[in-house]
């Protein structure tokens, strides 16, 4: 009897947590585009996603070649368009930068 209860509990937890895996948004447009060369005057990274974002769990970080973050403040989801997220940058010097983002859809 205990084994049947355990199986039922595990199955219920698995079914209830499955929608969490579907709660991802994917980029539709990025400025600057991925893999591009950006001007030294670049002051922000903007990404438009295919679904509305949950601000508490979505982020963008930009790091230089040494791994130092070059963002001015925490990334923000646009209040008028929750599919758009942006982050301001500190003044950039010539070099290679990596953009890393996390986007959780607001399902």
Number of domains forming the structure of the chain: 1
Tell me if residue 77 falls in helix, strand or coil: strand
89: CATH: 2.60.40.1220
Tell me the CA distances in angstroms from 14 to 7, 8, 35, 87, 100, one per residue in order.
11, 10, 38, 35, 29
Any domain includes 8? no
Q: Across residues 100-106, what is the average pLDDT? A: 94
d(CA 105, CA 68): 28
Any domain includes 11? no
Summary mean pLDDT of the chain: 84
Task: Please state the pTM of the whole predicted model.
Answer: 0.77
Q: With bands split at pLDDT 50, 70 and 90, how would you rate the model's confidence at 12? A: very low
Output 13 or 35, whichever has higher pLDDT.
35
Any domain includes 15? no
Any domain includes 61? yes
Any domain includes 68? yes
Query: Structural domain of residue 49, as residue ranges?
Result: 22-102
pLDDT recorded at residue 11: 40
Q: Does the bond joining 32 to the residue before it have cis omega, within 30 degrees of 0?
A: yes
pLDDT recorded at residue 62: 96
Residues 6+ apart with CB under 8 A from 64: 70, 95, 96, 97
């Amino acid at each position: 009897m205990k084994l049947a209860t355990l199986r039922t509990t595990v199955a219920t937890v698995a079914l209830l947590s499955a929608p969490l895996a579907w709660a991802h948004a994917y980029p539709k447009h990025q400025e600057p585009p991925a893999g591009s060369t950006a001007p030294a005057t670049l002051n922000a990274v903007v990404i438009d996603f295919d679904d509305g974002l949950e601000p508490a769990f979505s982020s963008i970080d930009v790091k230089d070649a040494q791994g130092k973050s070059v963002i001015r403040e925490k990334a923000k989801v646009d209040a008028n368009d929750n599919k758009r997220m942006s982050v301001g940058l500190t003044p950039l010097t010539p070099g290679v930068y990596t953009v890393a983002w996390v986007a959780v859809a607001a399902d």
